[in-house]
Structure 1
Amino acid sequence: DPSDASVTTLPYRPPSPPRDTCVYNSCYCEENIWKLCEYIKSHDQYPLKECYAAFIFNERKMIPIWKQQARPGDGSVIWDYHTVFFFFFVFLGPYSSIQKSPG
């Protein structure tokens, strides 16, 4: 029963540090992602197996990315490649169960 007062849920905490404490180097996306993964590993809050780094590239070496500090406003920046971080948080609520498969 979702209205059961005895059920407690843990608040979601993002895997990254507060923005003002992030290690960040402009134009070095792969290093920034590496540092983010180091932070997550050292704080042991979430398993690294839930974290992924993806390298985006193509033969033309032209990757448009929007919402970049290098270009304020709605325009894109064309990078030769880009690296992004994905975090897949699976929340199994208080009414979920995991059953171990045989074998």
Structure 2
Amino acid sequence: MGASIPPPPPVITRSSDMDPHTLEQLRAVKEMLTAQEEEAQGLRDLNRDLRERLEDCETKIKKLNEQNDEYAEKEKVLSHRVAEKVRNNKQMSVVMEEYERTIS
């Protein structure tokens, strides 16, 4: 009626029950898995370090942007002051020229 299901493979609990070729393959797979796990752990550590560095850089960028905004505002204020001083100096120069003309 239905297709017969094959029996599950035997469970081998002792390495002495395995042939040498299978043991060698198993050892190679274990070594490969160990190496991959070490590599994965190294990548996780690197990822964590890079995330921390990125966070530090983002914090520094934020501070530098704030500082840049402050300096831009100071520059704006100083530029206005310089422009006002230049205007005042020109006015004073005109006044001095008029004064010199009147006294000569």
Q: Which has the higher strand share?
A: 1
TM-score (norm 1): 0.17
Higher RCO (C-alpha 8 Å, min separation 6):
1
Q: Which has the higher helix share?
A: 2
TM-score (norm 2): 0.17
Higher CA-based Rg? 2
